[in-house]
């Protein structure tokens, strides 16, 4: 069985999807549709913008969603998932590619999610940090001991966890984690504290948008970030997408779930190769690949 997985924020790069746009009439039509949904032509930033231009949350998230979903569409009959999953933002790409929401609706949700997250980031000085070489339980314990808001946000793979919260609390957690033996605890250049309680205003805004969006049963199960379990139930998927904004991304657990369902091949759909590398951390012998443009077209 093949699992198709979709990357999250951070996978963007200058020129992304320009080759896809040039090679595929389907992609060009979707970009036209995206301009209608977004109210601006995101092609200009994706194809010609700098790394800094692409880093803005309200650009990054729609750009990665577009790149990922278009790749899945261009794959056509080669898109044969037994299960899909996505890292954070990628969960929206996975759901859309699997037919759980219409393309325009998925993009509109991603755009609202991005705007809401950017507003929440502006309200409170906050950040994230990568912690390497430490057991998850130890990171959880130390975060719980630090004054202020700092929580585990992304369980990326064994020995790699991202924490999130108020700037001072994250910096103090990094100091304590380093003293406790972490190989590295490094504050990241991000817009704010994603997947933490500080995203509560964004969660409320997204909940309103999701409540008015039509969801259908996807063509295969979707593994949720929040629970690391597979579901095809539209109501469960709605709840999970809302909860995801303030809950940690349990990607390590999601990978184990995907493999436990019988996946023998992992195909990453979207920019970058980060998720393939994370799966290799779990199972070195696993077959991983990328839905690259030459095979798609």
Q: Which of 187, 205, 237 is the last residue of a domain?
A: 187
Residue 291 has a pLDDT of: 87
Q: Assign residue 142 the CATH number of its domain.
A: 3.30.70.250
The 10s digit of each residue's pLDDT in 5-40 is 999 998 999 999 999 999 999 999 999 999 999 999
Enclosing domain of residue 158: 125-187
DSSP line for 131-154:
EESS-HHHHHHHHHHSSSSEEEEE
Task: Please check whether residues 161 and 206 belong to one and the same domain.
Answer: no
Residue 107 has a pLDDT of: 98
Active centre residues (catalytic): 88, 195
Quote the pTM value.
Answer: 0.96
Low-confidence ranges of the chain (pLDDT < 70): 292-297
From start to end of the chain, where are the E strands? 2-6, 83-86, 126-132, 150-157, 160-166, 184-187, 222-223, 230-231, 265-268, 287-290
Residues 292 and 297: their CA atoms lie apart, in Å, by 9
The alpha carbon of 189 is separated from its chain's Cα centroid by a whole number of angstroms, namely 17
Number of domains in the chain: 2
Task: Please check whether residues 107 and 222 belong to one and the same domain.
Answer: yes
User: 112 is written with which tokens?
Assistant: 């609202």
Query: Is 192 domain-assigned?
Result: no
Residue 190 has a pLDDT of: 85
Among 34, 115, 35, which residue's Cα sits nearest to residue 73? Answer: 34
Residue 297 has a pLDDT of: 41
Residues 76 and 155: their CA atoms lie apart, in Å, by 32
């Amino acid at each position: 069985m093949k699992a198709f997985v979709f990357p999250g924020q951070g996978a963007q790069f200058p020129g992304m999807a320009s080759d896809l746009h040039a090679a595929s009439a389907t992609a060009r039509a979707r970009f036209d549709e995206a301009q209608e949904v977004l109210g601006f032509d995101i092609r200009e930033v994706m194809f010609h913008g700098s790394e800094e231009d692409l880093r803005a949350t309200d650009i990054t998230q729609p750009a990665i969603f577009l790149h990922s979903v278009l790749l899945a569409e261009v794959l056509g009959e080669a898109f044969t998932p037994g299960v899909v999953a996505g890292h954070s933002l990628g969960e929206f790409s996975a759901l859309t590619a699997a037919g759980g929401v219409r393309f325009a609706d998925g993009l509109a949700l991603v755009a609202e999610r991005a705007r809401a997250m950017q507003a929440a980031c502006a309200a409170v000085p906050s950040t994230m940090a990568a912690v390497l070489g430490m057991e998850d339980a130890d990171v959880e314990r130390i975060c719980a001991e630090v004054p202020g808001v700092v929580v585990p946000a992304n369980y990326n793979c064994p020995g790699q966890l991202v924490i999130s919260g108020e700037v001072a609390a994250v910096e103090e957690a990094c100091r304590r984690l380093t003293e406790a033996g972490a190989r590295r605890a490094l504050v990241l250049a991000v817009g704010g504290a994603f997947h933490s309680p500080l995203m509560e205003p964004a969660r409320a805004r997204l909940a309103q948008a999701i409540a008015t969006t039509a969801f259908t049963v996807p063509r295969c199960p979707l593994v949720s970030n929040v629970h690391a379990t597979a579901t095809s139930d539209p109501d469960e998927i709605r709840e999970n997408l809302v909860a995801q904004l303030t809950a940690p991304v349990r990607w390590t657990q999601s990978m184990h779930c995907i493999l436990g369902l019988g996946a023998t091949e992992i195909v990453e759909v979207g920019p970058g190769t980060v998720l393939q590398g994370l799966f290799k951390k779990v199972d070195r012998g696993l077959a991983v690949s990328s839905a690259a443009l030459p095979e798609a077209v």
